[in-house]
Structure 1
Amino acid sequence: MTAPKLDCSNIVEFIADIFERRGAESYLGEPVSMSEHMLQGAVLAETDGAPEELVAAALLHDIGHYTSEFGPMSLGDERDNYHEESGAKVLAPFFPPVITECVRLHVPAKRYLCATDKGYYDRLSEASKHTLLLQGGPMNADEVRDFEANPFHREAVRVRIWDDEGKRPGVETPAFRHYVPLLQRVVEGQAKAI
């Protein structure tokens, strides 16, 4: 599929279309679909009173699993495609750095929390424990320092926690369309800031 020419006027609808067509796909061994997982993350962020940018980051944190939808910039779909990196890359032209960095750092945040929070690993799902091994395991001391040097590391940790908690079957959430106005506001705000 070739992506249309994307800009701030159509990126949100493009992402909404991806959710509607592909959101029911399974989520890597978890008991929820991809869209259920991402929508639960957004609801958890809203419930915590997070700003709109973090609600958007929680909603979009796994968009990298769909990078093939964006055209030739896909890094591959059949093996670890570093979805955090590819997701940040496709969002960067349209969304503010706090969102793209939360997307990019949500996997390193898991590694960070495993290194810095003694009880965190035991709260991970079995699928997350498995992918942790593929993603490099808990961070070492140098990696922890580098992670903490990122100005958005605290926000990324919040998104990671919502990511971990957003894997409960049967949880009612609004549809993706509920978040379209919020996403459009964030995109338009970024366009004005540039």
Structure 2
Amino acid sequence: MLNQAPTSENILDMIEAIFTLHGADSYLGEEVTMAQHMLQAAWLGEQQGENEAVVLAALLHDVGHYANKLPPEVLMSGTDNRHQESAASWLAEFFPAGIIEPIRLHVAAKRYLVTVDPDYRSQLSQASIDSLALQGGDMSAEEVAVMEANPYLDMAIRVRRLDDQGKDPELATPDFGYFKPRLARWLMPSAREAES
């Protein structure tokens, strides 16, 4: 199914297929699966009173590992698969910027927080520390300034913190079906379909 071109009619089923077909994949050295991780990030956001755009961005933040020509395992072998860009590009036709931009920025938010918050690095899992170097490490002063000018910085940080928290092998969550109707409410017609 992921080899098909996404449309507004099939994108939710394609996302669900990622959770179903790849959800049991290990999450890059963490103690949870990929589906557990994404579902936990969204569920924790809901439990913490985050707005729906942040919850849904947290749910989708790692789908780029599968909407990508480079599999997630390349991160473990020393190559950045730029999954944040893949996810944002794959979903951008179908969801508004309030969901897409925090997804696109969730890796940059890790780099930003490591740079500006002296306590943040100690809160990261070993796998997140290992991938940080591949993803660019600490930000330069110029990168920090660009990040701080981004209107989605706050949302990206909130998604990043949910990303960091969603790694508990004991935490039970609803399955993807619980969130699917919410995603449907945010779905926009694709630009390609509007042109035809």
Structure 1 residue runs without a partner (length 5+): 69-73
Counterpart Cα distance in 1 of 2:111 and 2:127: 14
Counterpart Cα distance in 1 of 2:3 and 2:184: 19
Other-structure match for 1:71: none
Q: Is the 8 A contact 1:38 1:62 kept in 2?
A: yes
User: Residue 176 of structure 1: CA displacement?
Assistant: 0.8
Other-structure match for 2:104: 104
Q: Is the 8 A contact 1:52 1:186 kept in 2?
A: no
Other-structure match for 1:61: 61
Structure 2 residue runs without a partner (length 5+): none
Q: Is the 8 A contact 2:91 2:100 kept in 1?
A: yes
The code of the aligned residue for 1:133 comes to A
Alignment of 1:115-134 (within 5 A): 115-134=115-134
Counterpart Cα distance in 1 of 2:130 and 2:103: 20
* TM-score, with length taken from structure 2: 0.90
Distance 1:2 1:24, change over 3 A: closer
The code of the aligned residue for 2:66 comes to Y
Alignment of 1:135-174 (within 5 A): 135-174=135-174
Counterpart Cα distance in 2 of 1:91 and 1:186: 12
Other-structure match for 1:45: 45
User: Residue 9 of structure 1: CA displacement?
Assistant: 2.1
Counterpart Cα distance in 2 of 1:2 and 1:21: 10
The code of the aligned residue for 2:9 comes to S
Q: Which 4+ stretches in 1 moved above 3 angstroms?
A: none
Which is further off, 14-23 or 104-113?
14-23
Alignment deviations for residues 5-24 of structure 1 (CA, whole Å, 9 cap, x no partner): 42222211111012111100
Counterpart Cα distance in 2 of 1:151 and 1:20: 34
Alignment deviations for residues 50-81 of structure 1 (CA, whole Å, 9 cap, x no partner): 2211111000000110014xxxxx3x223421
User: Residue 4 of structure 1: CA displacement?
Assistant: 2.7
